[in-house]
Amino acid sequence: MFQRLLPRGLYGRAALILIVPILAIQLVFSTEFIQRFYEGVTAQMTQGVAIDLDFLMDQIEATASLEEARARVTPLAEALEITLTLPAGPEAPVEDRMAFIDLSGGTIMATLRARLPGLQAVDLTDPRRRVFLRLDSRFGPVGAEVSRRRMSATNPHQLIVLMLFTSILLTVIAYYFLRRQLRPITKLAEAAEAFGKGQTVRYRPRGALEVRAAGRAFLDMRARIERQIEQRTLMLSGVSHDLRTPLTRMRLALSLMPEDPEVAALQADVAQMERMVDEFLAFVRSDAVEQPEPADAVALVGELAAQAGPAVRLVSVEGQAEPVDMRPLAIRRAVENLIGNALRHGRQVQLRLIFQDRSLRILVEDDGPGIPADRRDEALRPFARLEASRDPNQGGGVGLGLSIAADIARSHGGALRLSQSEALGGLKAELVIAR
């Protein structure tokens, strides 16, 4: 469950690694400062005020009359920056009052009550930062007014606000530089993903040394693969010519011989050899020379269905049909192979297209015997023929149709999936193309 809550992207995880330690440090520091330093300073300052008030109350208790107490204590209170009212006026509180978000109010009240036994009530809610007190004396209640600045810091939230603002500012700056470091990794991933789809995008290594090294390694790998594909294409061009020439001479020689069962069998063998050579070349031929371009998949599949005959029908198109970036000739070859495989083992074939946000699915379903679930992976391997009836000498394929289609799907960033057709009961081949 904890793993599911974590961000999946690199930006989110990097931001989490950056922000969590900062928040933890700020929380620990704020708690320590408020509980230890700030509360300690507030208690010490309030204790000084409590000593002054205790001194003034002692002076009041030492006098014989109210007038004498007022005459003695008033100048002393003014010197101590305390306003005394004897007896207490209407502004003197009758109960303790403190704001909900007052961080130092509890410390002030606790310190005053510990030092002043005659304290009756304290009011800390005055907006002009004045503290009103009511104290008990032999002449009745005494009102006192003291500036809040003598008991706690002037701006108790200033440091916390400044600390939060600085943390946010530094986090934004750090995230900006972090994004600049992560952007080359994202560009490398995009270039690798595009190359997996058969596209070559411009990429230049940037960023940290490690990212640059990975980018140069990717460029070297891409260049080696492209050279290998080019060399294979050139080699196969020569192989195609060399193989077709003797087959053509054999066919010509057989056509000049008298017709008999043996000659007919040899001609069938030559035709089969030509078909096998064509399928071998189609399997190993590279489609990288064909550049991806926006193509109308509905028109392409519809044309193939019309060419295949009445047994093949395009039954539905789901989603919003839009042009899809693909190599049209390669996709045409893949769908032709799937249709040919379906017609070879069934009597009717249905085609469906499903357009999704990130992929295009081309479904080819038939009413043939299908392929068992435990042998579908084997069917995608080159030269795999699952049944003796699929012997090429008896009209079957050479085991490359599904392999070619799977290879083309992978070169488009997709896959070829085999399952059972729900509509016809035979094989369902799903060609997925990334968008």
Higher pLDDT, residue 40 or 143: 143
| Domain identity same for 234 and 343 | no
Check whether residue 13 and residue 149 sit in a common domain.
yes
**Quick one: pLDDT at residue 387?**
57
- Closest by alpha carbon to 326, among 363, 284, 368, 298? 298
Domain boundary among 289, 311, 344: 289
- How many CB atoms neighbour CB 218 within 10 A? 17
**What is the percentage of the chain residues whose pLDDT exceeds 70?**
85
Q: Identify the weakest region by mean pLDDT among 30-39, 97-106, 112-121.
A: 30-39
Residue 120 token pair: 């009756």
pLDDT at 392 over 60: no
Do 26 and 116 share a domain, yes or no? yes
167 assigned to some structural domain? no
Which residue range(s) make up the domain with 299? 290-434
Least-confidence region, from 28-37, 312-321, 339-348: 28-37
Same structural domain, 283 and 366: no
Q: Is residue 128 part of a domain?
A: yes
Residue 166 lies in a domain: no
For residues 20 and 17, give the distance between their C-alpha atoms in angstroms, rounded to a whole number. 6
Residue 419 belongs to domain with CATH number: 3.30.565.10
412-430: pLDDT as tens digits? 888 898 988 888 889 999 9
**pLDDT band at residue 25, thresholds of 50, 70 and 90?**
confident
Query: What pTM was computed for the model?
Result: 0.52
The answer to whether residue 180 sits within a structural domain is no
User: Do 279 and 367 belong to one domain?
Assistant: no
Task: Return the structure tokens found at 304.
Answer: 């193939």
Q: Identify the pLDDT of residue 133.
A: 93
232 lies in a domain? yes
Are the C-beta atoms of residues 233 and 289 closer than 8 Å to each other? yes
d(CA 276, CA 279): 5
Eight-state DSSP code of residue 102: -
**Average pLDDT over the chain, rounded to whole?**
82
Q: Are residues 88 and 204 in the same domain?
A: no
Q: Say if residue 336 is in the same domain as residue 278.
A: no
pLDDT at 352: 92
C-alpha dihedral sign at 31, 36, 41, 46: positive
Phi, psi of 419 (to 5 degrees): -155, -175
Answer yes or no: do 228 and 131 share one domain: no
Evaluate if residue 389 carries a pLDDT over 60.
Answer: no
Q: What residues pair up with 420 in beta bridges, in sequence order?
A: 427
Written as six digits, the tokens of 380 are 């995608």
pLDDT in the model for residue 131: 92
Residue 134 maps to a domain: yes
pLDDT of residue 155: 58
Kindly state the average pLDDT of the residues 212-235: 82
Count of structural domains within the chain: 3
> The domain that contains 12 carries what CATH number?
3.30.450.300
Whether the per-residue pLDDT at 156 is higher than 90: the answer is: no
- DSSP class of residue 388 equals G
- 3-class secondary-structure state, position 205: coil
Give me the CATH number covering residue 214: 1.10.287.130
Q: Are 220 and 281 found together in one domain?
A: yes
Look at residue 425 and tell me if it is in a domain.
Answer: yes
| Residue 162: band (very low, low, confident or very high) from pLDDT cuts 50, 70, 90 | confident
Give tens-digit pLDDT for 48-72: 999 999 999 999 988 888 888 888 9
| Collapsed DSSP state (helix, strand, coil) of residue 26 | helix
Query: What pLDDT shows up at residue 222?
Result: 85
User: Do residue 232 and residue 300 come from a single domain?
Assistant: no
Residues 154 and 45 sit within 8 Å (Cβ to Cβ):
no
Report H helices in 257-314: 261-284, 297-308
* Same domain flag for 62 and 110: yes
Sign for the pseudo-dihedral over CA of 266, 269, 273, 274:
positive
Domain boundary among 226, 256, 289: 289
Residue 173 confidence class, pLDDT cut points 50, 70, 90: confident
Mean pLDDT of all residues in 84-108: 85
Distance CA 280, CA 286 (A): 12
Q: Are 434 and 195 in contact (CB under 8 A)?
A: no
Contact (Cβ atoms closer than 8 angstroms) between residue 426 and residue 365: yes
Where are any strands of DSSP class E within 57-205? Answer: 83-85, 119-123, 130-137, 140-147
- Decide which of 264, 289, 314 is a domain's last residue: 289
The more confidently predicted of residues 356 and 233 is: 356
CB 139 within 8 A of CB 66: yes
Domain shared by 127 and 111, yes or no:
yes
Q: What is the pLDDT of residues 397-412, one digit of tens each?
A: 556 678 888 888 888 8
pLDDT category, 388, cuts 50, 70, 90? Answer: very low
Residue 228 forms part of a structural domain: yes
Cis (ω within 30 of 0) for the bond into 21?
no
Alpha-carbon distance 230 to 237, whole Å? 11
3-state secondary structure of 276: helix
Q: Which two tokens stand for residue 153?
A: 């810091």
51-65, 95-109, 271-285 — most confident range: 51-65
pLDDT at 200: 76
